[in-house]
Amino acid sequence: MPPLLLPDTRIGSREDSQIEQIPLYKLIFLNDDVTTMDFVVKILILVFKREKMTAVRLMLDVHHNGSAVVDVMPLEQAEFRQQQTHSMARKAGYPLRCIIEPA
């Protein structure tokens, strides 16, 4: 009698391991001549949960280079953080803008 062949039921078999990756997006702050450095740091701490020194470094990158990637995340989260940033900036009277691009 020929040997009995059973289907491959191991966890992590080739078919099971093809998990679709969620695309990531860069959230980029743009420099302007009106928004204060302190306000940018405040947004980075409150909205993006950055430590103060990291927030200051990112703010300086934006200031000196014209823009900087402040976070990379799935699109829905990036859009939410962008909306929070724009809303807080408008409420404070600043034109701070951030854009979203594919990572």
Half-sphere exposure of residue 6: CA atoms within 13 angstroms, side-chain side: 3
Structure-token pair, residue 14: 């080739």
- CB atoms closer than 10 angstroms to residue 84: 15
Q: Is the pTM of this model over 0.85?
A: no
Q: 14 pLDDT band (50/70/90 cuts)?
A: low
**Averaged pLDDT score across all residues of the chain:** 91
Q: 19 pLDDT band (50/70/90 cuts)?
A: confident
Q: Show me where the domains of the chain are located.
A: 24-102
Indicate whether 35 pLDDT > 80: yes
Domain 24-102 CATH (choose: 1.10.10.10, 3.40.1390.10, 3.40.190.10, 3.30.1390.10):
3.30.1390.10
Q: What is the 3-state secondary structure (H, E, C) of 13-65?
A: CCCCCCCCCCCEEEEEEECCCCCCHHHHHHHHHHCCCCCHHHHHHHHHHHHHH
Which pLDDT does position 18 carry in this prediction?
Answer: 72
- CB atoms closer than 10 angstroms to residue 71: 20
Q: 12 pLDDT band (50/70/90 cuts)?
A: low
Write the DSSP symbol of residue 33: S
pLDDT tens digits, one per residue of 60-96: 999 999 999 999 999 999 999 999 999 999 999 999 9
Write the DSSP symbol of residue 103: -
